[in-house]
Chain A
Amino acid sequence: MQVLDRVKINQEISDLKKTYGDDRSALLPILQDLQEKYGYLPNLVMQETAHALDIHPVEVESVASFYSFFRRKEKQGKYVLRLCQTISCDLSGKAKVARQLENELGIKFGETTKDGMFTLEYTNCLGMCDQGPALLINDRLFAKVTPEKVPQIIADCRRDFVKSEFPKIVPSNVKKSGPILSHDLKPGEGLKAALKNTRSGVIGLIRESGLKGRGGAGFPTAVKWQLAGAAQSAKKFVVCNADEGEPGTFKDRYLLFDHTEMIFDGMTIAAYAIGADKGFVYLRGEYLYLKKHLQEILENRRQNNLLGENILGKEGFNFDIEIRMGSGAYVCGEETALIESLEGYRGEPRNRPPFPVDTGFQNHPTIVNNVETFLDAALICVKGAKWFNEHGTEKSSGTKLFSVSGDCEKPGIYELPFGITIEQLLKEVKGENAKAVQIGGASGRCVARKDFNRTIAFEDISSGGSIIIFGPQVDMLEVAINFMEFFVEESCGQCTPCRDGNVKLLEGLKLLEKGRCSVSYLNELMRLAETIQLASKCGLGQSSPNAFVSIIENFKSEILGRVPEKA
């Protein structure tokens, strides 16, 4: 049994406060570091953390219980094996890998081996959908895992990965580049171009380009920057939303590794435009293996005066960026939940208004933009608005990065213009045989063949970039169940329509699976879905029934009247 030394814990917390600060926003990083040290968060550790930050212990317990990566009861194994349970990995044969992991370790999912070496868990999307099944072991990522590879992976863990043949960073799979990905800019080039312009001039350029948020919601970037720039406050913040949790999305993982400089250029340009002096990259916990790389680039930028004080000689322009890790909560991709998390609270979305552009991080004006948006903004500052908006449509200018996975011959990352039809996209990725395409991830909608002539654009079918292709053999009821299980697990539980409504929808799908759901009850569930869309507080709840509704509408004949297989 582990003996805890209160004095030693207090010293550790005191040291961590020197790194992360002594206000409430330091809570998550302190807990993350302490968990890494102790293997879980013992009560004494949480109590002492609470005292050190001058908050009630129940506040710490409340935060620790919210995020799936925190463990409070049982010490986790030296190696935590997290197998992706998203639909793309399902389609790639996850079930057999899961069974083999259990066989090799002699434990079930959710358990830890008696020798304390291994903990086996399911996790939501690891952002490796084009190379699934994906397995995360601490900060190591494994792609295209097969049952045959499982014993070798376990053996590598036992050897602490000495002489492991598995790469620590799995290369990305870029299948098609366009004007954004094939840029040839050097670090700081976007920033240098921007600093020749006035603050309002930079925002004007972004406005002229028509750039809209690449996370999926499509809010005009220039409006966000203008409102934050116009807001009055002694402090302002720039946040890069790198909490890429939408199932089927993995383009930000690639951008964060291969286009890091331009993303930081974009953040620094935004800071100049709105008058911010501090930025955060909120990196999802599943991407911990990217943190070191990001920190190295940041340090390099400090050395080159691309961060720090009087950046590139611009008197009074001071800005720096800090990496903050998420801890396994999909809802933190919603900007107000993300800000709550940054502040050291449960990632529960806020009521709006007030908006983050005025009342964001610690009540100061804050802009939160997607990784891809910052990259686009940096390139626009060099290449101009016309270069950007000569692609795409009138209301959706530019190109978009798509993460394509599922039943196609060429899964991977594609840069394609907005306005492309689903049919054209399927031809590009060699997935013409598809019977359905999920656009926008779990929160998006499932489009059937009859609608393949529709376009992907903010004015038609909007998407943050996730494209999951379902071939003729896929059971669409299983797809719907997978998505609803995801939302039941990821709902923050704050508002009733989302918390309870999604449970009822999932129960209904299970009834359909057993062939025990009447059409009248199904119609009731469709009305409930509409209520969830209307009455939920945040974007997660409002979009959570989209997949349910679109699958039921498009595939009713496939779903009704099931005869369950005999056991």
Chain B
Amino acid sequence: MAKVLVVDDDPDFVSAVTIVLESAGHKVSKAHSRQEGMQVFDKDKPDIVVLDVMMQEPDDGFVMAQDLKAKARVPILMLTNVGQVTGLDFGKDSEMVPVDAFEQKPIRPSVLLERINQLLK
């Protein structure tokens, strides 16, 4: 079982993901902004980060992914519906979007758990 940090400005989404992850035996830390996310990351040192894109600023998720990769080799699962809402088309990019997996919201709990387990291997 792993320590998972969930960073998303939608409290309902964070709650729902927490229930799913805790039911699978993971320990969940939560944050609702990029700044809070970095603080919690430094404090809890999670094994994996589940990260939203648009929070206070539209690019917060990308910036946080860059900051995280600059300081640690932690896997990041980027989870967003930004494409559906805005038409923006993003994907993995080693420098600008340095994440390990990119999934669209909404995501089925089983798919979420499977992706996290894959990234933890």
The reply to whether B88 and A227 contact each other, CB–CB distance below 8 Å, is yes
Q: How far is the CB of B100 from chain A (nearest CB, A)?
A: 15
Q: Contact string, B15-36, partner A, CB cutoff 8 A, digits 1/0?
A: 0000000000000000000000
The reply to whether B93 and A223 contact each other, CB–CB distance below 8 Å, is no
The reply to whether B89 and A232 contact each other, CB–CB distance below 8 Å, is yes
The reply to whether B91 and A232 contact each other, CB–CB distance below 8 Å, is yes
A369 lies within 8 A of chain B by Cβ: no
Picked from B87, B93, B96, the residue with its CB within 8 Å of the CB of A358 is B87
The reply to whether A198 and B57 contact each other, CB–CB distance below 8 Å, is no
Picked from A204, A223, A226, A355, the residue with its CB within 8 Å of the CB of B86 is A355
* Complex Cα spacing A229 to B63, Å: 12
B66 lies within 8 A of chain A by Cβ: yes
* Complex Cα spacing A199 to B66, Å: 11
- Size category, B interface: 10 to 19
A357 lies within 8 A of chain B by Cβ: yes
A493 lies within 8 A of chain B by Cβ: no
The reply to whether B66 and A354 contact each other, CB–CB distance below 8 Å, is no
A108 lies within 8 A of chain B by Cβ: no
Task: Report if A223-B57 is in contact (Cβ < 8 Å); known contacts: A231-B89, A354-B86, A354-B87.
Answer: yes
* Complex Cα spacing A207 to B66, Å: 13
Q: Which residues of B contact A544 (CB under 8 A)?
A: none
Picked from A199, A230, A358, the residue with its CB within 8 Å of the CB of B59 is A230
A14 lies within 8 A of chain B by Cβ: no
The reply to whether B62 and A230 contact each other, CB–CB distance below 8 Å, is yes
Residues of B85-107 at the interface with A, using a CB-CB cut-off of 8 Å, are 85-91, 93, 95-97
Q: Which residues of A contact B62 (CB under 8 A)?
A: 226-227, 230
Closest to A233 in B: B89
Q: Which residues of B contact A227 (CB under 8 A)?
A: 58-59, 62, 88
The reply to whether A353 and B85 contact each other, CB–CB distance below 8 Å, is yes
Q: Contact string, A348-383, partner B, CB cutoff 8 A, digits 1/0?
A: 000001110111000000000000000000000000
Q: How far is the CB of B64 from chain A (nearest CB, A)?
A: 11
Q: Which residues of B contact A204 (CB under 8 A)?
A: 63, 66
Closest to A220 in B: B57
* Complex Cα spacing A198 to B95, Å: 9
We find that the number of chain A residues with CB closer than 8 angstroms to chain B is 21
Q: Contact string, B41-66, partner A, CB cutoff 8 A, digits 1/0?
A: 00000000000000001110011001
* Complex Cα spacing A128 to B115, Å: 61
Picked from B63, B87, B93, the residue with its CB within 8 Å of the CB of A355 is B87
Q: Which residues of B contact A222 (CB under 8 A)?
A: 59
Closest to A359 in B: B87
Q: Which residues of B contact A226 (CB under 8 A)?
A: 59, 62-63, 96
A200 lies within 8 A of chain B by Cβ: yes
Q: How far is the CB of A498 from chain B (nearest CB, A)?
A: 24
Task: Report if A207-B63 is in contact (Cβ < 8 Å); known contacts: A199-B96, A226-B96.
Answer: yes
* Complex Cα spacing A220 to B90, Å: 20
* Complex Cα spacing A220 to B58, Å: 10
Closest to A198 in B: B95
Q: Which residues of A contact B90 (CB under 8 A)?
A: 230-232
Task: Report if A353-B86 is in contact (Cβ < 8 Å); known contacts: A207-B63, A226-B63.
Answer: yes
Residues of A83-97 at the interface with B, using a CB-CB cut-off of 8 Å, are none
Q: How far is the CB of B53 from chain A (nearest CB, A)?
A: 9
The reply to whether A353 and B96 contact each other, CB–CB distance below 8 Å, is no
Task: Report if A199-B95 is in contact (Cβ < 8 Å); known contacts: A207-B63, A223-B57, A226-B59.
Answer: yes
The reply to whether B86 and A358 contact each other, CB–CB distance below 8 Å, is yes
* Complex Cα spacing A354 to B59, Å: 15
The reply to whether B93 and A230 contact each other, CB–CB distance below 8 Å, is yes
Task: Report if A353-B87 is in contact (Cβ < 8 Å); known contacts: A199-B96, A204-B66.
Answer: yes
Task: Report if A229-B87 is in contact (Cβ < 8 Å); known contacts: A204-B66, A207-B63.
Answer: no
Q: How far is the CB of A306 from chain B (nearest CB, A)?
A: 23
The reply to whether A223 and B58 contact each other, CB–CB distance below 8 Å, is yes
Residues of A218-247 at the interface with B, using a CB-CB cut-off of 8 Å, are 220, 222-223, 226-227, 229-233
Q: Which residues of B contact A232 (CB under 8 A)?
A: 89-91, 93
* Complex Cα spacing A231 to B62, Å: 11
Task: Report if A355-B57 is in contact (Cβ < 8 Å); known contacts: A207-B63, A226-B96.
Answer: no
Closest to B67 in A: A204
The reply to whether B57 and A200 contact each other, CB–CB distance below 8 Å, is no
Q: Which residues of A contact B86 (CB under 8 A)?
A: 353-355, 358
Task: Report if A223-B88 is in contact (Cβ < 8 Å); known contacts: A199-B95, A204-B66.
Answer: no
Q: Which residues of A contact B66 (CB under 8 A)?
A: 200, 204
Q: How far is the CB of B69 from chain A (nearest CB, A)?
A: 10
The reply to whether A229 and B96 contact each other, CB–CB distance below 8 Å, is yes
Extra contacts, 12 of them, besides A226-B96, A231-B90 (Cβ < 8 A), are: A199-B95, A200-B96, A223-B57, A226-B59, A230-B96, A231-B89, A232-B89, A232-B93, A354-B86, A357-B88, A358-B88, A358-B89
Q: Can you list 20 A-B pairs, Cβ within 8 angstroms, ordered by A?
A: A199-B95, A199-B96, A200-B95, A200-B96, A204-B66, A220-B57, A226-B62, A226-B96, A227-B62, A227-B88, A230-B62, A230-B90, A230-B97, A232-B90, A233-B89, A353-B86, A353-B87, A354-B88, A355-B87, A358-B87
4 cross-chain pairs, A with B, having the tightest CB-CB distances, nearest first: A354-B87, A226-B59, A353-B86, A358-B88
* Interface residue ranges, A against B (CB under 8 Å): 198-200, 204, 207, 220, 222-223, 226-227, 229-233, 353-355, 357-359
* Interface residue ranges, B against A (CB under 8 Å): 57-59, 62-63, 66, 85-91, 93, 95-97
